[in-house]
Amino acid sequence: MKTMKNSRLIVGQVISNARKTRNLNQWQLAKLLGVTQPYISSIENGRANITIDQVEDILELLDYRIDIQLKPLGLTDEESQKLDRVNELLLGTV
């Protein structure tokens, strides 16, 4: 489950960056969310098993937007480029 741990670390870094752009410390964010500071620390350090809904709630509270595109593992470069093109078309970024 190394991929899940890496994903939690990435999510934690995103939340930490979002918090810092709002000039909030962990205690302040915890108070806004109604959770403890240690829980915020565990999220930011990739130790908390946080749901997508919780991530969305935190980022919405911080007025922070990210663009996430999910891709299956093991794609060839050509398959990855085709998927990128489809995503661009679907998202209207072309």
The dihedral region occupied by 73, where left means phi > 0, alpha psi between -120 and 50, and beta the remainder, is: beta
For residue 62, count other CB atoms closer than 10 A to its CB.
19
- Pick from 64, 67, 56, 65: nearest CA to 92: 67
Q: What's the CATH architecture for 2-63?
A: Orthogonal Bundle (1.10)
Rounded to an integer, what distance in angstroms lies between the CA atom of residue 5 and that of residue 93?
31
Write down the domain spans for the chain. Answer: 2-63, 69-94
pTM (predicted TM-score): 0.70
Residue type, 26: Q
Residuewise pLDDT in 10s, the chain (94 residues): 455 568 899 899 999 999 999 999 999 999 999 999 999 999 999 999 998 889 989 999 999 887 666 667 777 888 888 887 877 777 665 4
